[in-house]
Amino acid sequence: MEPRQEQALDAAKLYYLGGLSQGDVARRLGVSRPTVSKLIQTAKDLRYVTIDVHDPREVTSDLGDQLAERFGLEEVRVASGPADPVGPLEELGRVGAGLLEDLVRDGELLGLSWGETMWAVGRHLQPTTRDDVEIVELKGGVPLQPKRTREYETMSLFCAAFNAYPRTLHLPVYLERVETMRALEAERQVQAVLQLGRRTSMAAFTVGPIALDATLFTLDYFSPAEREHLLRRAAGDICSRFYDDTGQICLPDLDARTVAVPLADLRRTERRVCIAGGRSKVRALAVALAAGYVTHLATDAAAAQGVLEYSARHGLGEG
């Protein structure tokens, strides 16, 4: 270890463990106060010092308790802070990452969706010692348009965090013909990944809203008739499978051409972790919760409050 690194470590220990002020540390080490500040920053940069803030409001909250009771959820974590109508992805990603870090076990077969929310979760995952974890893509992700879906980045971040082996689907999420879907399902390599996706012990996913600017609507997958039908009848999507206000498949013809885990199989997964926030996802999230697609939830205050209000108006859940 270089002398500067040793000095940075000494300064950090005196400041954080010894409870000394930066002035006291400066006098103890025989350096100036600005130097102590730089040494402490060096210790942070070298990761000799990591700071975790454990906000109990994110693990238990009134909103979270109400959601858990209404929908029979095993755990709800709500990102604290002011309600944000568009969804604070960074805070939501951090809270979702913490939930997953606590849930993933050795030998886990983890199903993973993609999207901006899941990418935010991946960026906040901390390396967690796990053995024999495999991560399976729950849906295809090759877009028709030159738009980044964060599919590969998300998988890489999750695998790095859990020391996991990836099982990827290098396919579009929607195909043009049912015959193509059937032919692909017969291919051994594709079949193997799809079958793994159907028997995961845990799934991590988000819900998508129904809007022209939603990711799936911007990727040029749908015909004009399909787009119109979805905009009129769909409540949201999970793993790019659209469901209506009863939680049932909204457009069967499109669903038959969708390269993704079937929602019926997802519902049988032991732990179903949904990370979703923002007012734009209230309807999609409320219906998904009422339909039983979720066992664990990470959300934000805006979505939590909105879901409770929406479910009360529409008679969703057990409340």
The predicted pLDDT at position 87 comes to 45
Q: For the stretch 207-220, what's the b/e string if a residue is b when 16 or more beta carbons lie within 10 angstroms of its beta carbon?
A: bbbbeeebbbbebe
- What CATH number does domain 56-314 carry, 2.40.110.10, 3.90.76.10, 3.30.70.100, 3.40.50.1360? 3.40.50.1360
The predicted pLDDT at position 83 comes to 47
The predicted pLDDT at position 47 comes to 77
The predicted pLDDT at position 88 comes to 60
The predicted pLDDT at position 85 comes to 47
Helix (H) / strand (E) element for 166: namely strand 165-167
The predicted pLDDT at position 147 comes to 60
Between the two ends of the chain, the Cα-to-Cα distance in Å is 60
Digitized pLDDT (tens) for each residue of the chain, 319 residues in all: 788 888 988 988 888 887 888 888 899 899 988 898 889 888 888 877 876 555 544 444 799 999 999 999 999 999 975 544 444 688 999 999 999 999 999 999 999 999 999 999 999 999 888 999 999 999 987 665 556 667 889 999 999 999 999 999 888 899 999 999 999 888 988 899 999 999 999 999 999 999 998 888 888 889 999 999 999 999 999 999 999 999 999 999 999 999 999 999 999 999 999 999 999 999 999 999 999 999 999 999 999 999 999 999 999 987 4
- Residues near 294 by beta carbon (within 8 Å), at least 6 away in sequence: 71, 73, 272, 273, 274, 288
Sequence spans of domains, the chain = 3-45, 56-314
Domain 3-45 bears CATH identifier 1.10.10.10: yes
- Residues near 9 by beta carbon (within 8 Å), at least 6 away in sequence: 1, 43, 48
Q: Which two tokens stand for residue 223?
A: 């015909």
Q: Which two tokens stand for residue 311?
A: 């479910």
Beta strands of 44-108 (E only): which ranges? 75-79
Task: Report strand pairing: 165-167 vs 134-137.
Answer: parallel
Q: Which two tokens stand for residue 121?
A: 């979760």
